[in-house]
A and B are shown apart, each in its own frame.
Chain A
Amino acid sequence: MPAPIRLRELIRTIRTARTQAEEREMIQKECAAIRSSFREEDNTYRCRNVAKLLYMHMLGYPAHFGQLECLKLIASQKFTDKRIGYLGAMLLLDERQDVHLLMTNCIKNDLNHSTQFVQGLALCTLGCMGSSEMCRDLAGEVEKLLKTSNSYLRKKAALCAVHVIRKVPELMEMFLPATKNLLNEKNHGVLHTSVVLLTEMCERSPDMLAHFRKNEKLVPQLVRILKNLIMSGYSPEHDVSGISDPFLQVRILRLLRILGRNDDDSSEAMNDILAQVATNTETSKNVGNAILYETVLTIMDIKSESGLRVLAINILGRFLLNNDKNIRYVALTSLLKTVQTDHNAVQRHRSTIVDCLKDLDVSIKRRAMELSFALVNGNNIRGMMKELLYFLDSCEPEFKADCASGIFLAAEKYAPSKRWHIDTIMRVLTTAGSYVRDDAVPNLIQLITNSVEIHAYTVQRLYKAILGDYSQQPLVQVAAWCIGEYGDLLVSGQCEEEEPIQVTEDEVLDILESVLISNMSTSVTRGYALTAIMKLSTRFTCTVNRIKKVVSIYGSSIDVELQQRAVEYNALFKKYDHMRCALLERMPVMEKVTTNGPTEIVQTNGETEPAPLETKPPPAGPQPTSQANDLLDLLGGNDITPVIPTAPTSKPASAGGELLDLLGDINLTGAPAATPAPASVPQIAQPPFLLDGLSSQPLFNDIASGIPSITAYSKNGLKIEFTFERSNTNPSVTVITIQASNSTELDMTDFVFQAAVPKTFQLQLLSPSSSVVPAFNTGTITQVIKVLNPQKQQLRMRIKLTYNHKGSAMQDLAEVNNFPPQSWQ
């Protein structure tokens, strides 16, 4: 068999291949030759073959059949064989193969070899891929070599020890005695690897860390070495660009950081040297900056004095202005780490950081963006937001989602005014609309409902935004929802903030219909649009027929979700027309689901806009309003807000009953219903209150007990008693339960109780248990009133009672002033 070709020949041949297939063919041929050569147990050429195999392995071809050959090479006596054998073992073998254990004996012998290079090879291999079994067996040998005087071997043994400790942490104590003298070495290689070993030991075990701090006096030793490095003059062997062994300096600084963390004594001992390094190091080359960077990180991490910290942050600030991109990147990374602890110091560099947003480098932009969000606060919100919005415009798509979310968060926390907030959101939606996260839409809707005074402005702007382009889904969803809610404001042109635009109802419906039809709209968006159109049926006057038509068309839509909605809305038109208005009323202000601050329970009375009830008012609708007006007239003065009981209660009992049945089916979680998915009831007005009011159980678990009840009214046989409940967690809400009883011999029918409170209060009246007060005190009517008293003023109330008794209609007014102090204080 001819001698196998040399490595160089092989490489040359492979390079002549023009295609991948040709190369593969050549390699396969050579592999076959190598395999037969291995089978023949050819000692002379084995090293050559393995070298070729390694080359082919690098190119990506399988080479596992060479593993055993590597072992044979390791066992050989020749240095050449061992060299290539160990290299092959490191590249081809790992601890997952059982074959590797066969190496253990060879390595053990080689660790005691007479030639230092062989020993070095063995240490290297053990340190790279030694498994835990091998490490356990050979740790003793490594420890012995750690104490030798041969610096070449000592440094390799140190790194090998690090690997052993990583694999078998229990063996750490074994190396402890050997470390005593390590730092007395002159050889920088040994010093370097010793520091690595000490770092590993300190990081792994807090006991070791404490031991090194106290007993070994490690910190003074390290300080001494560092000082020598800085102070000593030019030494040609360790010099890199004018600085003496920067690698060692950086290592030592890192170990000092670990030693000084959370330890006052150690930190004090290193303050001087850190200041010295920080001021004396030359910064013109990368090496100097590497040392400075490490120094800054160490200063920030240990318990350094404040002067030193300021120095560190200033160095970082200087880095930010450096021309070298790497330095700027590194500075931004460390500022991000320190912004939590030294916020004010970092704020000083805010303008530079914001400039970095305009950098061309993607990595720098990302860092700058994260840091900018961390620096936003109430004072700089306007300026920062301008910059961030500009950044959002021009940045790469991978940033847009994160940037948009960040902007929303920042705006929510620090918005100076509601209008500014809405404007900012609009801007984000229009520039990065498709990248906005899905959960942003409900949050935005909730925010918009909260800003009651600018509803008209908001809906107008949203309308204009989607007029031109309705492809950005989150924007279209928010806009559709708003138009559905506040379409009447849009059409009536009531906007004060901006120039009001003239929009007709048809135009509005046009845009909503085009959203429905468009291919770009997702199913969710179409759902929003359809519901919006439906809501407009109560807000608009002249286009109800058009709406009916649209809704009925989608009753046969392929999309199941749309179809269900359309069918249910259709039913609303046909069978439940009398309920349509109540169902499609304005949404009340939503409670925030996740609250960080005090909860705002804004109690609204279900009807905030009496106007939309024009089309088909419920029969009892006008009654309470006129009665309320009567109350106003009678009482005079503007300080009384009339109370309109929640609409369902004023309906005829049957309709109310159906409504309550519908409500009973829904899962009442109190979450703002941005997508009116559950059935066709968009109004979920504080459901816990609504249903809870019908039960006679205490509404709060933590009631303030012992508030005496009062008799509010007692005349003509009708007695009304008030009992109070207050919650400890929310002391501004008082719940009054009234009980009306009748001591005459005839029932009082059609009993209606109404109440009015001064303007500083808010009142909610829930539905009564019945409208008949039975005679002879055989039963009572119970009704719940909730009073919100944020200013803790004295509770006053005027009540009006109407009922039929002995065939005649009775009416009475009274004032209740005898509220006990505990009910409102």
Chain B
Amino acid sequence: MIQAILVFNNHGKPRLVRFYQHFPEEIQQQIVRETFHLVLKRDDNICNFLEGGSLIGGSDYKLIYRHYATLYFVFCVDSSESELGILDLIQVFVETLDKCFENVCELDLIFHMDKVHYILQEVVMGGMVLETNMNEIVAQIEAQNRLEKSEGGLSAAPARAVSAVKNINLPEIPRNINIGDLNIKVPNLSQFV
């Protein structure tokens, strides 16, 4: 069972925090910070498995993480999940994000936190793996987005054009996800440290 999924950047700012077991808010933030410190220490040519910190779970829990450019994707799992399988799952998740957001970058995760949650909901449910077929996930997300758009969307504003899902056969996601063109996406954005 997956106990938690955390995504944070190289400075420890959380970009996605999802717990599948209840922790009080303070503990949640502490866990994020502790995990960040544990993962930051790791070199790049070291294995992707870590014994968990003291706060989350106990001796049965492992942290499995992957580092993509500026983001760390960390899954906290117990022994019932295959470690190598979870590594592949992280890859599937990121590739799905890429398909949904078209060359996803950190800013996408920042500004569309709710959408990222919805995508995650189609992949992992209740701490268990639900669907691993990327195309299937994307199709479902698209359908739901269309439904939402027809109602007027979250912003209750004219919807953005939905881009068609391209059928790209991605062999391997490039390790360096490019930041993208800042000028086009979000103008007048000052750097947040």
Q: Chain A interface (Cβ within 8 Å of chain B)?
A: 6-8, 11-12, 15-18, 44-45, 47-48, 51, 54-55, 57-60, 62, 78-80, 83-84, 87, 91, 94-96, 115, 117, 124, 127-129, 152, 155-156, 159-160, 162-163, 188-189, 192-193, 196, 237-238, 240, 245-248, 250, 254, 286-287, 289-290, 293-294, 325-330, 360-364
**In the complex, what residues of B have CB within 8 A of residue A16's CB?**
190, 192
Nearest Cβ in chain B — how far from A185, in angstroms? Answer: 13
Q: Kindly list chain A residues whose C-beta atoms are within 8 Å of the C-beta of B186.
A: 12
Q: Which residues of B contact A254 (CB under 8 A)?
A: 82
Is B148 touching A80 in the complex (CB atoms < 8 A)? Answer: yes
> What's the least CB distance linking B75 to chain A, in Å?
14
List B residues at the A interface (Cβ < 8 Å).
Answer: 14, 16-18, 20, 22, 25, 28-29, 43, 45-51, 82-85, 87-89, 92, 110-111, 113-114, 117-118, 121, 125-133, 135-136, 140, 143-144, 147-148, 151-157, 186, 189-190, 192-193
Least distance between A256 CB and chain B CB atoms (Å): 14
Q: Is the CB of A246 within 8 A of B88?
A: yes
Question: How close is A270's CB to chain B, nearest CB, in angstroms?
Answer: 18
CA distance A364 to B51 in the complex (A): 11
How many angstroms between the C-alpha atoms of A289 and B88 in the bound complex?
11
Residue of B48, B113, B144, B151 near A55 (CB, 8 A) is B113
**Set of chain A residues within 8 Å of B140, measured between Cβ atoms:** 117, 152
Pairs of residues from A and B, 6 with the lowest C-beta to C-beta distance, nearest first: A290-B84, A325-B47, A127-B126, A15-B192, A94-B22, A247-B132
- A90 shortest CB reach to chain B, Å: 8
Docked CA distance A94–B87 (Å): 29
- What is the CB-to-nearest-CB distance from B147 to chain A, in angstroms, rounded to a whole number? 5
Q: With the chains together, A16 CA to B18 CA distance in Å?
A: 25
A17-B192, A84-B114 known; A326+B133 contact, CB < 8 A = no
With contacts A48-B156, A286-B87, A329-B47 taken as known, whether A60 is within 8 angstroms of B25 at the C-beta atoms is yes
Are A156 and B130 in contact, with the CB atoms below 8 A?
yes
- Check A325–B133 contact: CB distance below 8 A: no
**Residues on the A chain within 8 Å of B151, using CB:** 78-80
Q: Which of B83, B128, B135, B154 contacts A330 (CB 8 A)?
A: B83
Task: List residues of chain A with CB within 8 A of the CB of B25.
Answer: 57, 60, 62
Contacts A44-B156, A84-B154, A159-B128; is A117 near B88 (CB within 8 Å)? Answer: no
Contact B111 A11 (CB under 8 A): yes
Inter-subunit contact B114/A58 (CB<8 Å)? no
User: Which residues in B have their C-beta under 8 angstroms from that of A159?
Assistant: 125-126, 128, 130
Residues of the B chain whose Cβ atoms lie less than 8 Å from the Cβ of A329: 47, 49, 83
Contacts of A247 in B (CB 8 A): 85, 88-89, 129, 132
Which of B28, B43, B126 is in CB contact (< 8 Å) with A160? Answer: B126
Q: What residues of chain B lie closer than 8 Å to A6, measured between beta carbons?
A: 155, 157
C-alpha gap A96/B22 in the complex (Å): 9
A421 to chain B: closest CB distance in Å? Answer: 33
Assuming the contacts A115-B147, A159-B130, asked whether A326 and B83 have C-beta atoms less than 8 A apart, the reply is yes
Q: Please tell me if the beta carbons of B113 and A54 are within 8 angstroms of each other in the complex.
A: yes
Interchain CA distance A363-B126 in the complex, whole Å: 29
Asked if B87 and A326 sit within 8 Å, CB to CB, the answer is yes
Q: What is the distance, in angstroms, from B119's C-beta to the closest C-beta of chain A?
A: 12
B83 touching A189 by the CB < 8 A rule? no
Question: What's the Cα separation between A37 and B13 when bound, in Å?
Answer: 28
A294:B82 contact, CB within 8 angstroms: yes
Contact of A11 among B110, B155, B157 (CB under 8 A): B110
- Sample 8 A-B pairs with CB under 8 A, ordered by A number: A7-B111, A16-B190, A115-B147, A124-B125, A128-B125, A250-B85, A290-B88, A360-B45
B154 touches A196 (CB 8 A): no
A-B contacts besides A58-B17, A326-B87, 17 pairs, CB < 8 Å: A48-B155, A58-B16, A83-B118, A83-B144, A127-B125, A129-B22, A156-B130, A162-B128, A189-B130, A196-B128, A238-B133, A245-B133, A247-B89, A250-B82, A289-B84, A360-B46, A362-B46
Residues on the A chain within 8 Å of B29, using CB? 60
Check A79 against B147 for contact (C-beta < 8 Å): yes
Main secondary structure, interface of A, reads helix
Whole-angstrom distance between the alpha carbons of A254 and B46 in the complex?
Answer: 27
Interface centre among B48, B121, B143 (most CB of A within 10 A): B121
The distance in angstroms between the C-alpha atoms of A238 and B134, with both chains bound, is 9
Is there contact, CB below 8 Å, between A326 and B47?
Answer: yes
Known: A12-B186, A15-B189, A55-B113. A48 touches B128 (CB 8 A): no
Q: How far is the CA of A163 from the CA of B2 in the complex (A)?
A: 13
Q: Across the interface, do B129 and A192 meet the contact criterion of CB distance under 8 Å? A: yes
Q: Known contacts A79-B147, A159-B130, A196-B128; is A293 also within 8 Å of B154 by CB?
A: no
Tell me the bound Cα distance from A80 to B150 in angstroms.
10
**Would you call A245 and B132 a contact (CB within 8 A)?**
yes
The distance in angstroms between the C-alpha atoms of A91 and B22, with both chains bound, is: 9
In the bound complex, what is the Cα–Cα distance between A115 and B48 (angstroms)?
Answer: 41
Task: Enumerate chain A residues within 8 angstroms of B92, measured Cβ to Cβ.
Answer: 240
A302 to chain B, nearest CB (A): 17
Q: Is the CB of B126 within 8 A of A128?
A: yes
Is the beta-carbon distance between B154 and A48 smaller than 8 angstroms? yes
For residue A199, which residue of chain B has the nearest CB?
B80
What residue of chain B has the Cβ atom nearest to residue A236's Cβ?
B169
Q: In the complex, A360→B47 CA distance in Å?
A: 10
CA distance A48 to B17 in the complex (A): 20
Closest to B15 in A: A58
Chain B residue nearest to A61 in the complex (CB): B25
Given contacts A286-B88, A360-B43, contact A293 B131 (CB under 8 A): no
B153, A286: Cβ atoms closer than 8 Å: no
Is the pair A15, B190 in contact by a Cβ cutoff of 8 Å? yes
Residues of B within 8 A of A117 (CB): 140, 143-144, 147
In contact, A293 and B84 (Cβ under 8 angstroms): yes
Residue in A18, A59, A325 whose beta carbon sits within 8 Å of that of B14 in the complex: A59
Distance to closest chain A CB from B142 (angstroms): 11
Structural contact, A80 and B154, CB atoms closer than 8 A: yes
Specify the chain B residue showing the minimal Cβ separation from A78. Answer: B151
Give the CA-CA distance A329 to B63 in the complex, in Å. 13
**What's the nearest-Cβ distance from chain A to residue B184, in Å?**
15
Closest to B23 in A: A94
Nearest residue (CB) in B for A59 is B14
Residues from chain A with a CB closer than 8 A to the CB of B14 are: 58-60
Contact of A8 among B45, B111, B136 (CB under 8 A): B111
Taken together as a complex, chains A and B put the C-alpha atoms of A159 and B123 apart, in Å, by 12
Residues of A within 8 A of B111 (CB): 7-8, 11
Closest to B131 in A: A189
